[in-house]
Amino acid sequence: DIQMTQSPSTLSASVGDRVTITCRASQSINNWLAWYQQKPGKAPKLLIYKASILESGVPSRFSGSGSGTEFTLTISSLQPDDFAIYSCQQYSSHPWTFGQGTKVEIK
Amino acid sequence: EVQLLESGGGSVQPGGSLRLSCEASGFSFSTYAMNWVRQAPGKGLEWVSGISTSGYNTQYADSVKGRFTISRDNSKNTLYLQMNGLRVEDSAIYYCAKDGVATISFHGYFDYWGQGTLVTASS
């Protein structure tokens, strides 16, 4: 199975900050990577797929990059609505696997 | 508007069974692969199982293989997960998730999720 490792596990930031979350795969997944946002008590929401394609309706302050084994999710200017848990997911090969999540909290 | 509505969760003793359902609306159900993803309390997301559009091709996480069975009824726009031999470690919120691309088999990312149904296996 492909292991997905996110860093950091928790990130403290302020409104307006630029935030970067890293996701590493245990083997190459090309660009078959998605990012999700999850708020307490809610289902995950798709932000980005194929490593860098923004899902319709997602604000442009979110961006994704990377290929192979290393990927990043960047929020260019953190907004109050962005405090949440972010998870990456590989869909290169079954079983699809997720990272453990990164909690973005208020500094 | 795409909607996915799960039901069937509840509390059972270890070794027991439950059948989850996910009723879909707002899209052409028969043209998308579907999945179950779970999340234990305070933990990360874990993909559980997926099924192709026809139901012919199914995939399972090793942790549930041989105990869980995924199926679908395209005439009823409904996805199912039969869970047998439930273990304490199966306790989680179970989400139904729609594949992001209309394809015969699987594409792999999830563009719509249900609200989830809670399964608790405890003595």
Q: What is the pLDDT of residues A39-81, one digit of tens each?
A: 999 999 999 999 999 999 999 999 999 999 999 999 999 999 9
Give the other-Cβ count within 10 Å of A51's Cβ: 22
Digit-coded pLDDT (tens) for B38-68 = 999 999 999 999 999 999 999 999 999 999 9
Mean pLDDT of the B96-122 span = 93
Interface test with B, best of A3, A42, A46, A71 (most B CBs within 10 A): A46
Give me the pLDDT at residue B29, please.
Answer: 97
Neighbouring C-alpha atoms within 13 Å toward the C-beta of A69? 7
Which residues in chain B are closer than 8 Å to A95, comparing Cβ atoms? 47, 59-62
> Are B78 and B30 within 8 A, CB to CB?
no
Mean pLDDT of the B23-50 span = 97
> Are A103 and A10 within 8 A, CB to CB?
yes
- Asked if B95 is an interface residue toward chain A (Cβ–Cβ < 8 A), one would say yes
Residue B16 pLDDT > 80: yes
Digit-coded pLDDT (tens) for A81-91 = 999 999 999 99
Give how far A46 is from chain B: nearest CA, Å: 6
Give me the pLDDT at residue A107, please.
Answer: 86
Residue B101 pLDDT > 80: yes
Task: Spell out the alpha helix ranges (H) of chain A.
Answer: none
Give me the pLDDT at residue B95, please.
Answer: 98
Which residues in chain B are closer than 8 Å to A50, comparing Cβ atoms? 109
CA-based nearest residue in chain A for residue B98: A46
Averaged confidence pLDDT in chain B:
96
Give me the pLDDT at residue B107, please.
Answer: 83
Compare CB distances from B100 to A1, A49, A95 and report the shortest one's residue: A49
Compare CB distances from A46 to B50, B106, B109 and report the shortest one's residue: B109
DSSP one-letter code for B90: G
| Closest CA relative to residue B64, chosen from B10, B122, B113, B18 | B18
